[in-house]
Amino acid sequence: MRERLAALPWWVHVLLIYGASRLFSTVVLIAVSRRQIASPWGPASPSYEEFVNFWDSGWYQRIHDGGYPVELPRGDDGNVLENQWAFYPLFPAAVRLLSRATGTGWNPASAILATVFGFIAALLIYRIFRLRASAPDARWAVALVAFFPVSPILQIPYAESLHLMLLALALYLVMTERFLAALPVVVLMSLARPAGVPFAIGLGLLLLVGICGRGSVRSAGGLIRLGALAVTAGLAALAWPAAAWLMTGEPDAYVQTETAWRGSDLFLFAPWLHVATDLLGPLLGPLALVAVAGALAWLLLSPGGRTLGLPLQLWCVGYLLYLAAFWHPQTSTFRILLPLFPLALAAVLLSGSRAYRLLAVAGFGCLQIVWVAWLWAWLPLFGGGDYSP
């Protein structure tokens, strides 16, 4: 039996691993849905299709059904209310194409498409890992990504699986130095999630390393093509805010919409310190931030982290800098960490022990249950609302 499995093509191995993870997540989602009380999205004990359409899935469905508002909705105080402009258009547009072609509507087309994107992402992630590691190590790293505590989001009508697929393809093209081929991928990726800025940061750092005579890209032609991709990523990051401006007539329509969820203006870097201080106090809060930053730096600079190679390392650095500057830490932060998937390979390479790797995958699976039951399931807080996933 083992010999037969070993003889299967690489893509079958990956699909089996990823399929097992999605089956596990489906069981978890169904089990938790049976304990779900009546919510803003439906009755108690909703079906699987109803349960996966909680939270931001509803916003994507609004875009699928009716597009974006041409006038920003405002409250009695004049501030912009939460609205569709916070959500990028590529995923609902893809679902609309599928639903029109099949006549299925948002349900079940959205969940099916999100799941398919996740399977494609897994194949691309494996190919990325194989550029830097052996096949067994790459399979273990794919398993870590597939069982990541927030991985149920990859089969839920969110843009995460589409973004992960495009991000993996873009990183693969960068690693193989096909920078011009990556141009349309980066543009599409920037219409799925706000990924243009961190991708431009990572490419900019890679370009700087190349100009200094380090790294694999050193030729003038290669540096020019890499620079063109970095500029494209930066410009692509402006595309959606510009679209919101053109459609609504308000230059800061996108920023106003994003800050509607925060309840405060945008301040670079400060929210992390404020939240850490509120949770842990004025001494432990900053120390916790330093400890987390130190742990991430250690992982990226560990032997496993160095195995990733500069493109993956610098993508992680760029994305972490982006989160530090712009992200407002909250319970959704766990979901936002998924694009740091290259760290799964670094984590796998910390030890060749089969027991360590099995324990890591099993631990992630257990944390999936926590994530779904704590954050995806809805339970009103005493002050109203709930912790968002």
Q: How many CB atoms lie under 10 A from the CB of residue 285? A: 18
| Domain range list for the chain | 9-376
pLDDT at 8 (0 to 100): 87
User: In 3-state terms, what secondary structure has residue 193?
Assistant: coil
CA distance from start to end of the chain: 40
pLDDT at 312 (0 to 100): 98
Rounded CA-CA distance 138/132 in Å is: 8
- For CA atoms 235, 237, 239, 245, the dihedral sign is negative
pLDDT at 385 (0 to 100): 63
Within a 13 Å sphere around the CA of 29, how many CA atoms are in the beta-carbon half?
Answer: 25
pLDDT at 104 (0 to 100): 87
Question: pLDDT tens digits for 204-234?
Answer: 999 999 999 888 888 999 999 999 999 999 9
CB 343 within 8 A of CB 129: no
Q: Where are the alpha helices (DSSP H) in the chain?
A: 2-6, 10-33, 48-51, 57-66, 90-102, 106-130, 135-146, 160-175, 182-189, 196-211, 220-248, 253-262, 270-301, 303-307, 310-326, 333-336, 342-348, 354-371
Question: pLDDT tens digits for 289-314?
Answer: 999 999 999 999 999 999 999 999 99
pLDDT at 24 (0 to 100): 98
pLDDT at 261 (0 to 100): 81
Q: Chain-centre distance of CA 94, in angstroms?
A: 18
pLDDT at 384 (0 to 100): 61
Phi, psi for 39 (deg, rounded to 5): -135, 175
pLDDT at 340 (0 to 100): 98
Take residue 26 and report the two structure tokens written for it: 């489906």
Q: Which stretches of the chain score pLDDT less than 70? A: 1, 263-265, 383-385
